[in-house]
Amino acid sequence: MTSVLAAVLAAGTVAERLNPDHRIYDSWWFAALLGVAAALAVVAIVKRRLWEKPPLLMIYASVLLMLAGGAATSLVGVHGSMTLQPGKPTAAFDDNGRTRELPFSMTLENFEVVPYSGTRSPMDFVSHVVCDGQRSDISMNRILRHDGYRFYQEDYGDDGSSTLSVAHDPWGIGLTYAGYGLLMAGLVLLMAGRRGPYRRWLRGGALALTLVLASQASATPNTIPRAEADAMGRMYVMYKGRICPLQTMAKDFTTKLTGSATYKGLTPEQVLAGWMFYYDQWIDEPMIKVKGEASVMAGAKRVSLSRLHFLDTMTVGPLSDKNLRGANEKYNLVKMLAGGRLLKHFPVDGGWYGQNDELPMSVADSDYMFIRLWQSYCQELVTKADWKGLAYVFDKTRIYQTQHSQGCPVGARLKAERLYNAMTTGKWLAMVSITLGLAVFATSLVMQARRRKLPRAIRIGALAWTVLLTAWLLATMVLRWVAGGHAPMAGGFDSMNLMAIVIGLVALGLSHRHPTALPIGMLTMGFCLLVAMMSGSNPPVTNLMPVLNSPLLTLHVAVIMCSYALFFFVMLGGVAGLLVDGATYRRLNLLMLYPAVALLSLGIIIGAVWANISWGTYWSWDPKETWALITLLIYALPLIDGGHAIKSDRAFNTYCMLAFLSVAITYFGVNLLLGGMHSYS
């Protein structure tokens, strides 16, 4: 039944993507299928006398509770929305076209968009309401509970109105949460029990798995000295909705154009300054990286801005080729910088403006002249090579910025962001880790075949590399956390970086008893870093979307990525088991599978609780959460009957190898093909 349910769920996500109006998971036959699953769970409890095995009984009972909770939510739960106008009491809400009445009224006093300090980027959306005579605030991840009803911030209007989600689910949430708790308790007891299957596998084995840089040298174009460029990078700029050091924008600018955060030994700030002050020289510098059709049309893979002039004439309709669009974006990026529209580094009356932007009428005359003449004065100092004077202007500009804006990051946040920007590595770190991992793993396989240990020098080198790489990744994660003011776990780069950290820690923890864990960790960390850096080097620190501003985000992503890291180990263990010793690697895979399945279960539960707090529903059949459930079902299958559901060692290891496809689809495939609220790049 497990495999049938997984297949139906997989087909359902694809069917709903092809025909969004056809709701598979709301159909009567899908509800009947879940009913059959519940009945089979009861049969299994009786047939296998699971009351004699409390951990398994708790797991099976938890499934029944969760299915009962879902049924209760579907049958008696109420979900709708209500729009509040300022000062007008409202007691009605809409439930799929049906008007329902609340047993009390609610009045909106006012709605407020709370921005990040010194910016216009929204940090939170807050409805100040009076509910049944009591004043309360409703915001993202902060709901209002009253008389069995829950109210969530959903939307707002330009007229000052606020739209709230309304939920009333007296039975479903309690049953479902009880199922969550029982499931985790059963999994913990299953792994902790002295006579349980996991403790038997824990006394077993070892772990294994299987499995360009190019440099350029030519004349360096003119720019300002490194010290003065560093002073320029210490200024502030409004970039991607947040106030950050200009260094951050310079790093992104350089990476966007060249594919790397440095160019010919120049810092990102020097590259940006070169375009600002030596534009006529840089326009002929073949530094812009292009691909595909753009490369064919330009006649090279790296071209100058002047060679990309043909893109400026392609204004008839949108560019269809993504590589042409990418090249056009780079062309326009430089043009925006040259036109004074990219650099927003002058704070005026709560906003940030570029030199050529239209300024508010309230700007003081002295400030107006300072803004309008800033570029010309700096250009004059550059022409005279008055580097001391240029650095003085940059320092004075930074003082002006801090005096006119309260949101400029200072102290630890500023230092953390600047240090993080300086720790950019590019793809070489991933490629080195992959290469070293392959070399050490190949050596370990040869030694294992000869029944000899890995040479001590190689083992020490592998250990040192894994320690240093893990420490480096932890440091960059902490720096992003401090600089951004929130846990960096909201995107693809962050989650892959976390997975690499977890893999490094697991490899180090297993290395004493299982020497092959080190090359496994090196190789796997390399793949994670390569995936993380495919879109460029370290991404910028960004403000967090209001709905993501929850501590549950950190727990949800951390736990899920820990499970994925273990599943990666299991996959590569399956590959190694097919090549070397099937029985040994079967034991090692089971050693990883139990905690991996438990962590994935916990991660899904945390995500469901977070969704219930944020949106009023703990399960919405979004493609990402559905595929996470599919992955859980697929990996739970080989654990049936204490790991003996698949008899043959070869079949078991093959299954472990192929099962990772579900993780790949969950993490990558959903983003690329199925979409949904969880999609990210």
CB atoms within 10 A of CB 317: 6
Segment 538-595, tens digit of pLDDT:
555 565 555 566 667 777 877 887 888 888 888 877 887 887 777 777 887 888 888 8
Angle between helices 226-233 and 387-404 (to 10 degrees): 10
Please tell me the predicted confidence (pLDDT) of residue 200: 58
Please tell me the predicted confidence (pLDDT) of residue 612: 81
* Per-residue b or e along 322-337, where b marks 16 or more CB atoms closer than 10 Å to that residue's CB: ebbebbbebbebbeeb
Structure-token match 């049938």, residue found:
4
| Nearest in space to 666 (alpha carbons), one of 499, 434, 438, 487 | 499
Please tell me the predicted confidence (pLDDT) of residue 223: 93
Report, in angstroms and rounded to the nearest whole number, the Rg of the chain calculated over CA atoms. Answer: 29
* Integer angstrom CA distances of residue 172 from 175, 258, 284, 323, 412: 5, 54, 66, 49, 46
Contact (Cβ atoms closer than 8 angstroms) between residue 270 and residue 215: no
DSSP secondary structure of 181-220: HHHHHHHHHHHH-TTSHHHHHHTS--------------PP
Q: What is the mean pLDDT of the chain?
A: 81
Residue 531 backbone phi and psi in degrees, to 5: -65, -40
* Integer angstrom CA distances of residue 77 from 69, 170, 606: 10, 7, 21
Using CB atoms within 10 A of its CB, is residue 165 exposed (0-12), middle (13-18) or buried (19+)?
buried
DSSP secondary structure of 110-178: EEEEEEPTTSSSEEEEEEEEEETTEEEEEETTB-EEETTEEEEEEEE-TTS-EEEEEEE-TTHHHHHHH
16's tokens: 């709903």
**SS3 assignment, position 549:** coil
CB atoms within 10 A of CB 291: 15
Which stretches in the chain have pLDDT values below 70? 20, 117-119, 193-219, 296, 298-299, 309-321, 425-426, 449, 490-492, 533-551, 642-643, 669, 671-681
Segment 425-437, tens digit of pLDDT:
667 777 788 788 7
Contacts of 150 (CB under 8 A, 6+ apart): 143, 144, 166, 167, 168, 616
- β-bridge partners, 124: 114
Please tell me the predicted confidence (pLDDT) of residue 317: 43
Contacts of 312 (CB under 8 A, 6+ apart): 331
Q: Residue 74, CB half-sphere, CA atoms under 13 Å: how many?
A: 15
| Nearest in space to 332 (alpha carbons), one of 240, 232, 256, 241 | 256
Residue 303 backbone phi and psi in degrees, to 5: -130, 165
